[in-house]
Structure 1
Amino acid sequence: MPSRNLRLGASLLALTAVAAASPTASARTAADRSLAAEARPTARVGTDWGPGWSAPVQRPSSGFEENWSETGFADQTVRQVVRLTSGGTTARIKLSNRYGQRPLRIAGATIARAAHGASVRPGTLRKLTFGQRPAVTIPAGGEATSDAAPLRVEPFTSVTVTLHFAEPTGPSTFHSQAYATSYRAEGDHRADRTGAPFTARTHSWYYLSDVELTGGGRPHGDTVVAFGDSITDGFGSTVDGDHRWPDALGRRLAAAGTPRPVLNSGIGGNLLLHDSAWFGDRAADRFQRDVLDKPGVRTVVLLEGLNDIGFSEVDLPTYKPNPQIGAEQVIAGYRELIERAHARGIRVVGGTILPFKGAEYHTPRSEAKRATINEWIRDSGEFDAVADFAAALASPSDALALDPAYDSGDHKHPNDAGYRVMAEAIDLSAL
């Protein structure tokens, strides 16, 4: 009897402790109550996670236009809209604090199918958890993956990922050139469906590096990664239009009856051979996390080197470092990436560097380097296939310049039509 009473007493103490640690309905925030009202059955967690969307992360910087990376967030909610490249029935997100100087506290997060602007489709808002907890702290330099959440999406569906920062974050790991609108609200609005509180806007993504899916009904292992600089990132394309060339390639594959995930691993201003405070880690350093570590990669399309040969021709604060880089150094950088991809059984498609006559760093010297590099890409046989972007977009009257019909206006970045032509220049069978 004494031992039975002890056991009953211990059980009562344990139950009391659990009750004290569990928030009551009255103690929940309005956001928690709203999300609880929209609860769905727990997602059946699969092990075959595939890519839905991805973006390379960068150091906080002023970037190409005003953004929130250097100031960070405090008691604010950020809603980000991303378009998925594949479908599924269950989703999870990955958050990166790679360049954070302190632990990052996420007070809460949601995912939903997007409607218009910052609004979400009724009945689709899902509360995200991390280890079954609503909040997560990510150490400086670390990352976190959410638990699975039930969310049925088709390929090319847009979703919102909403993050609430109750405490100051400090400068934020981000992706500068999203060419998509992200939204910010004061306070906790992760459960908001209308989008009305989200009155501030930017064209960057913050902390979000991946959306992964499972339950799509087709095996993973055929992902295409577009790896490059601002031309891959989509500079000059219509904001919120999803007209970057990797977007167009995904649509083209689907229209051909061979749908495959296409991930965009472009960073505006990125260099093949050097790190940049504004334009990300050099290609060789980020290739592992932005290509090789992505699930199910079968093919990578490489398009780098323009900034390496161009930055040295001008003296601007952002175009640093800018040492003179020879064509043979760019080729050696490409060879390293080819070797690493082939060691993982990944096919490599080489994209020729586009014409850029009339751009600020076009000189006879940089043009000679481009010609040598493109000749090697076309004729060396070291790539598994070649996408001759340069030939496809060259002006009929001057092969050193972009066709005016495809020029966004700066003589080096295509417009929406030019990005579509780039996607059409890729032999789908080569993928």
Structure 2
Amino acid sequence: MRIIRALVAALLLLALAVTAHAAPVQESGWTAVWATSAQMPSKTMSPNWSAEGFSNHTLRQVIRVSQGGAATRVRLTNRYGAAPLAIAGATIALTDTGANIRPDTLRPLTIGGAAQFRIPAGADLATDPVPLPVAPFQSLTITLHLAEPTGPATHHAQALATTYRATGDHRADSAGTAFTETTQSWYYLSGVEVFDVLPRRSGVVAFGDSITEGIGSTPGADNRYPDELAERLAAEGNPRAIIDQGIGGNRVTVDSSWLGDSAQRRFGPDVLDQPGIGTVIILAGINDIGLSTGGPGAADTVVPVSTDQLVAGHLDLIRQARAKGLRVIGATFTPIHGSPYFSPAAESARQALNEWIRTAGAYDAIVDFDAALRDPANPQRFTPEFDSGDHIHPSDAGYAAMAAAVNPAEFE
């Protein structure tokens, strides 16, 4: 036992000696346990602070990890910044309530040992490892002091979680009283990773659009389907990291300044570069269908996309995943009847794509979210209890049903 403990301690010390760099993370004992997809600065998706950026502000952001570990590091992103991002100071702590933290857990975040650092334009960086053990489903508070003007900020528009802002330097405050402004977006965060002395490629990326992102679920309640799936697996004695890489309005084939880079373009940083991942679940394409002829949003978002183009896009995602050694699970498109996306042509395309996903054999496995959520009496619609009310996004109960539909035996 002493030998094992000594080995664990030695490996942990070795990991904590590793400094951050801009290159993609390789298999090194680190596992992604939370992540979000970066987006360009924009006010179009939801009200946020990304367009104007920050100056002499402190941001306090709360996230919940899906797995625990002996040490922690944070991935920060300036992917869409026009200039280097100056971080005047940063901290991490276990969350108390709201913007309050547990003061005994407060730790500085550094890069290369420096408390102040810059993230180059277009880059992501990992902080130095922090000796902060975290438990599964624990909430972490990450605080960034941004003293210099940042310019427009890389963000994730629809976090379904509260971010807090204060004027001045409040990175070390244990109480959240200075944080009087709030928004429902994340800024400059792209991931949290934990160290595992016996790493497995057991993590899962849930990749997709607003249904993966969790729109329609209760804000702040962590009821997105990836959250529900992680909780279900832990309850069944099969815990593993599940990370959510959904962007509202995102399309497989079309780039957008406010709906995110296309799934094909962002698949690398959002899936392939995540450490400890063995499986990806792809639920993507309903926005390509719905925005082919109209639907909600600005006129310049309407781009015709054929079913053949969508199939080609999915095949490209499968190719990218397999080249990285990932197992790929395809998910069927959920009902849209009653939503602005619905038309006979859109429904025909949805059914055709679902038939291809179910029968073509292109994926390693499938999860039939359509079958899990549709109303048996009217299969073009949601079962009423699974409908959030907009007829395209599931309710909390719907997201739980999606999690229940996933077969964990199909994971890597």
TM-score, structure 2 length as denominator?
Answer: 0.92
1:240 equivalenced with 2:220 (yes/no): yes
Q: Corresponding residue for 1:87?
A: 68
1:334 equivalenced with 2:303 (yes/no): no
Q: Corresponding residue for 1:132?
A: 113
**Cα pair 2:55 2:149 within 8 Å, conserved:** yes
Instruction: Write the letter of the residue equivalent to 2:223.
Output: H
1:57 equivalenced with 2:26 (yes/no): no
Q: Corresponding residue for 1:360?
A: 340
RMSD: 1.3
1:321 deviates by 3.3
**Cα pair 1:271 1:304 within 8 Å, conserved:** yes
Q: Corresponding residue for 2:186?
A: 205
Which whole-Å CA distance do the structure 1 matches of 2:54 and 2:242 have between them? 31
Q: Corresponding residue for 2:174?
A: 193
**Cα pair 1:63 1:176 within 8 Å, conserved:** no
1:168 equivalenced with 2:158 (yes/no): no
Which whole-Å CA distance do the structure 2 matches of 1:318 and 1:86 have between them? 39
Which whole-Å CA distance do the structure 2 matches of 1:119 and 1:142 have between them? 30
Specify whether residues 356 and 68 from structure 1 end up closer, same or farther in structure 2 by C-alpha distance, changes over 3 A only.
Answer: same
Structure 2 residue corresponding to 1:141, chosen from 113, 122, 138: 122
Instruction: Write the letter of the residue equivalent to 2:320.
Output: R
1:45 deviates by 4.5
CA deviation vs aligned residue, 1:352-395 (integer Å, no higher than 9, x gap): 00001000120000000000000000111111111100011001
Number of aligned residues? 388
Instruction: Write the letter of the residue equivalent to 2:157.
Output: S
1:230 equivalenced with 2:227 (yes/no): no
1:305 deviates by 0.6
* 1:53 match: secondary structure: strand
Q: Corresponding residue for 1:221?
A: 201
Specify whether residues 320 and 298 from structure 1 end up closer, same or farther in structure 2 by C-alpha distance, changes over 3 A only.
Answer: farther
Instruction: Write the letter of the residue equivalent to 2:115.
Output: P
Q: Corresponding residue for 1:123?
A: 104
CA deviation vs aligned residue, 1:188-214 (integer Å, no higher than 9, x gap): 000001111111001110001011111
Which whole-Å CA distance do the structure 1 matches of 2:43 and 2:365 have between them? 37
Q: Corresponding residue for 1:395?
A: 375
Structure 1 residue corresponding to 2:324, chosen from 308, 327, 344: 344
Which whole-Å CA distance do the structure 1 matches of 2:384 and 2:299 have between them? 26
Specify whether residues 385 and 315 from structure 1 end up closer, same or farther in structure 2 by C-alpha distance, changes over 3 A only.
Answer: closer
**Cα pair 2:295 2:340 within 8 Å, conserved:** no
Q: Corresponding residue for 1:37?
A: none
CA deviation vs aligned residue, 1:221-259 (integer Å, no higher than 9, x gap): 111000000000010111110000000111111111111
**Cα pair 2:31 2:277 within 8 Å, conserved:** no
1:420 equivalenced with 2:389 (yes/no): no
Select between 341-350 and 319-328 the one with higher mean Cα deviation.
Answer: 319-328
Which whole-Å CA distance do the structure 1 matches of 2:159 and 2:153 have between them? 15
Instruction: Write the letter of the residue equivalent to 2:271.
Output: V
1:183 equivalenced with 2:164 (yes/no): yes
**Cα pair 1:350 1:387 within 8 Å, conserved:** yes
- Within 5 A, what are the aligned runs for 1:35-114? 44-46=13-15, 47-114=28-95
Specify whether residues 207 and 322 from structure 1 end up closer, same or farther in structure 2 by C-alpha distance, changes over 3 A only.
Answer: same
- Within 5 A, what are the aligned runs for 1:213-292? 213-215=194-196, 218-292=198-272
Instruction: Write the letter of the residue equivalent to 1:180.
Output: A
TM-score, structure 1 length as denominator?
Answer: 0.88
Instruction: Write the letter of the residue equivalent to 1:310.
Output: G
Compare relative contact order (CA 8 Å, sep 6+) and give the higher one, 1 or 2: 2
Instruction: Write the letter of the residue equivalent to 2:82.
Output: Q
CA deviation vs aligned residue, 1:90-123 (integer Å, no higher than 9, x gap): 1111111111111110000000001100111130
In our comparison, the structure showing a higher alpha carbon Rg is 1
* 1:412 match: secondary structure: coil
Q: Which runs of 5+ in 1 are unaligned?
A: 1-42
Select between 293-302 and 140-149 the one with higher mean Cα deviation.
Answer: 140-149
Give the share of equivalent positions with the same residue, in percent.
49
